[in-house]
Amino acid sequence: MKLLIPTDGSIYSSNAAKVAAKIALNHDYRLIVLHVVPDKGFSRKTWQKKGADSVISTITDILTEAGCDEDRIDTIIEDGSAPEKIVEIARNEGVDRIVIGTQGKNGLKKIVGSVTEKVLQISDVLVLVVPPNYNMSL
């Protein structure tokens, strides 16, 4: 089973990584951790690269602490629109499932739509959404 774990560095992404690890360890697995740096038409700055590396590292640490083999974890950093890149990588990598957290926003943020909401709308890959209040210990 190949799982894609998009991360934005939030606790919600960390929770999704814990769920993905639990699923992975029950299958022959491959994990892909993805961070998308918003593309504003400029080249990525050094501080954005360091930040992206840190975000990815946090999730890979969670996965390895949960018992996942480091050799079965791939990492990708992309520039662009997060929802589109998540779906594009899922298709290109042939993933079985996208495991993504959500903040459970309401009000204006709900009207505008979150990254998770947009992924759900455009993905042809199964999406597992981890709710904001889900607390799973390793």
Complete domains list, the chain, with CATH = 2-130 (3.40.50.620)
Per-residue model confidence (pLDDT) at position 7: 95
Q: What tens digit of pLDDT does each residue of 27-63 get? A: 999 999 999 988 765 555 555 667 888 999 999 999 9
Sheet of strand 97-101: strand arrangement: 73-79, 30-37, 2-6, 97-101, 126-130
Confidence grade of residue 112 (pLDDT, cut at 50, 70, 90): very low
CB 66 within 8 A of CB 37: no
Per-residue pLDDT, averaged over 8-15, amounts to 92
pTM: 0.88
